[in-house]
Amino acid sequence: MPRRQEYVLLIALLAGTAVLAVATVLSTTLFTGPGAAPLPPAQTQAAAHNPVAPANAGGNWVATWTTAPVGAEPDADNGFPGSTIRNVVHTSVGGDAARITLSNLFGTAPLLVDQATVNTRPVTFGGAASVTIAAGGQVVSDPVTVPVAPDADLRVDFRTPRASGPVTYHPNTHQTSSLTDGRTTWSTTKWRYLTAVDVRNEAVPGTVVVIGDSLTAGSGSTTDANSRWTDVLADRLGGRYGVANAGIAGNRLLTEGSAGQPGIVRFERDVLSVAGAHTVIVALGINDVQQDPQEPDAGRIVAGLRTLAEQARARGLTVVGTTLTPFEGFPTWTPERNAVRLAVNEQIRSGTVFDAYADFDEAVRDPAAPNRVVAAYDFGDHLHFNDAGYRALGERVDLTSLERARTPRSDEL
């Protein structure tokens, strides 16, 4: 079969895989209130009892923060009965009210939450202080009137009074949270159950949603400094748009890797269903290149990236891609794998994959050794970045590419 036909067939297969994965997740349309008024309990009740009510909504609700659920937390098979879980998150935009999404995606038993707060303000679910989340499901809270500041830490506390099975979590957050059992409080760098905080803000038109791997999650960045490249981007946007980070360390685009479902599977859940999604940034592919089993065909990676782009365009979203960054010196580097990376980058730069792109490769490579990260940006393993490196990535994104309405390419007309 000619190679062009192989890629066309691959795109169809990947799209079919994504559709099948999405179809296995039940979903309903979430509510929004008129204007700035809180929603009545009758409208929120259905969402609270729907185990997979999506966080997507129209109106003036936008995500100020998100994280992607990664899996079931090791050594927490019974949950944390009688404990209060505090997740500390960093906002991108502010608002006059908030709502939270709690996920039991990787749980095998119902999860009972009997009290919850946002910055000490009580949160309700369908008018009730407690909520039970079905195994595999999620719930969105009622709106709570609480001032949420932009570019600030925000506390979301909730108690799980009884054993609840495996804990849905996100590790390696680079943010200090805590767990309290009534006697002792432990610091942690894990986010548990919480996957989104939305705010009500009439002036913000939407959120930039970023799907990525460890380089988006911020591996190598300073804990509690909020120096991930998405934080840098949020600072540059200055509250005009929310920024939602769906990065997972170790995540791959096409196949199951060391962490999390692949981007092709989780794209609907972690990106397209985010409240107020306006623009998508796709920063995936380097782990397909360098992790075992390695993907030797750049065309398959490009086809996967195109599949994500087409799914986003089908929702009317602008899609920005990023080139794959150097990793010579990392243990998995080989000339053959580097050639795959360069071939993927060539296609991204051609303008045929995304509506726009940010050249992350050019931003961090060593001019004297372009297959390596420049020393000033290297975390030390030749793959991940320090705070200065992440700043270089965040500053490379063209803000106009995020804010403009999408214009169809000539071949789409």
Give the whole-number percent of the chain exceeding pLDDT 70. 83
Is the pLDDT higher at 9 or at 45? 9
Tokens read off for 39: 């929603």
* Alpha carbons 349 and 322: distance in angstroms, whole number: 9
Tokens read off for 387: 């705070």
Q: What is the pLDDT of residues 178-196, one digit of tens each?
A: 999 989 999 999 999 999 9
Q: Is the pLDDT of residue 378 over 90?
A: yes
- Give the angle subtended at the CA of 65 by the CAs of 272 and 265, to the nearest 5°: 30
From residue 246, give the alpha-carbon distance in Å to each of 28, 62, 277.
Answer: 21, 15, 12
pLDDT-derived band of residue 405, with 50, 70 and 90 as boundaries? Answer: low
Q: In this predicted structure, what is the pLDDT of residue 412?
A: 44
Q: Can you spell out the DSSP letters for 21-75? A: HHHTS---PPP--STTPPPPHHHHHHHHHSTB--S---TTEEEEEE----EEPTT
Positive or negative: CA dihedral 306, 308, 311, 312: negative
- 3-state SS, residue 77: coil
Of the candidates 324, 245, 318, 315, the one whose C-alpha atom is nearest the C-alpha of residue 291 is 324
Mean pLDDT of 222-242: 98
Q: In this predicted structure, what is the pLDDT of residue 7?
A: 42
Q: In this predicted structure, what is the pLDDT of residue 37?
A: 30
Q: In this predicted structure, what is the pLDDT of residue 76?
A: 94
Q: Is the pLDDT of residue 10 over 70?
A: no
Q: Is the pLDDT of residue 216 over 60?
A: yes
Q: What is the pLDDT of residues 348-371, one digit of tens each?
A: 999 999 999 999 999 999 999 999
Q: Is the pLDDT of residue 294 over 70?
A: yes
Name the β-bridge partners of 160.
Answer: 83
Give the whole-number percent of the chain exceeding pLDDT 90. 81
pTM of the model: 0.85
CB 258 within 8 A of CB 292: no
Name the β-bridge partners of 242.
Answer: 207
Mean pLDDT of 322-341: 98
Name the β-bridge partners of 199.
Answer: 62, 98
* β strands within 60-217, DSSP E: 61-66, 71-72, 83-90, 98-103, 111-113, 115-118, 121-122, 131-133, 138-140, 153-160, 168-170, 177-180, 185-188, 191-192, 194-200, 207-212
Of the candidates 107, 162, 163, 164, the one whose C-alpha atom is nearest the C-alpha of residue 136 is 107
Q: How high is the mean pLDDT of the chain?
A: 87
Q: In this predicted structure, what is the pLDDT of residue 256?
A: 85
Q: In this predicted structure, what is the pLDDT of residue 269?
A: 97
Positive or negative: CA dihedral 71, 76, 78, 79: negative
Q: In this predicted structure, what is the pLDDT of residue 133?
A: 98
- Find the range with the poorest average confidence among 8-12, 134-138, 157-161, 186-190: 8-12
Q: In this predicted structure, what is the pLDDT of residue 240?
A: 95
Q: In this predicted structure, what is the pLDDT of residue 34?
A: 28
Q: In this predicted structure, what is the pLDDT of residue 158?
A: 97
